[in-house]
Amino acid sequence: MQLLSLNTGLARPLRMQGRSILSAIGKTPVNGPVAVGALGLAGDEQADPSVHGGLSKAVYAYPQEHLPYWQAQRREHGASLFDEILPPGFLGENLSLQGLLEADVWVGDLLQFPGCVLRVTEPRQPCSKFNAVMGFAHASKAMAHSGYCGFYLAVHTPGTLEAGQPFIVRPGPRHLSIAQAFAGKRGKHLR
């Protein structure tokens, strides 16, 4: 398993349905080591801490294995005319991971990197900002149906992260996988 890209972003205006709202969903890759504190990565902002940020949602991780799906969805919905490759951070992720999918990670698991340890807390819940960034109105529904949500992390042991680093998963209590937690939340919203 590997951290392919480390991404941060600043809050800036995002056009949604004819109005402008503040969002930090657009992240860009960072080179070199980045400090990781209790509230996340140095140089990263969260515009709306009710959906991203705070101690339990300090860092957002996303499996890069899902990017071909999103490229196809954007093309199918007319948001992209070409087979463009989505850049790291496009979905708002801080950590672009390889080798760890939602069904294989559990709430409470620890991701141990060489310079810090992060604890898995919950799946991402898609919102209208995700729709705006993806360029089609039903992107959040596509996330709900695919289960390709990624997951939030709390900072268990502060330190540093750097793109290219390997990591291991130290199992937590293994009561609820991210895939199960996301399916459960999705079911509540569909009732």
Q: What is the CATH number of the domain that holds 94?
A: 2.40.33.20
Quote the number of domains for the chain. Answer: 1
Q: What is the DSSP string of 62-93?
A: EEGGGHHHHHHHHHHTTS-SS-PPPPTTTTS-
How far does CA 183 lie from the centroid of its chain? Answer: 17
Q: What is the pLDDT of residue 188?
A: 47
Domain of 57, in residue numbers: 2-190
Confidence at residue 186, expressed as pLDDT on a 0 to 100 scale: 60
pLDDT-derived band at 191, boundaries 50, 70, 90: very low
Quick check: 189 pLDDT over 50?
Answer: no
Q: Which segment of 16-25, 98-107, 157-166, 179-188 scores lowest on mean pLDDT? A: 179-188
Q: In this structure, what are the phi and psi dihedrals at residue 97, rounded to the nearest 5 degrees?
A: -105, 155
**Predicted confidence band of residue 187 (pLDDT cuts 50, 70, 90):** low
Q: Is the pLDDT of residue 13 over 90?
A: no
Distance of CA 172 to the CA centre of its chain: 20
Read off the pLDDT of residues 116-145 as tens digits, 9 standing for 90 and up: 999 999 999 888 889 988 989 899 999 999
Please give the mean pLDDT across all residues of the chain: 92
The pTM of the full predicted model, rounded to 2 decimals, is: 0.93
Q: Closest Cα to residue 133, out of 97, 94, 79?
A: 79
Q: Given a cut of 90, is residue 78 above it in pLDDT?
A: no
Q: Which of 138, 148, 50 is nearest to 101 (CA)?
A: 148
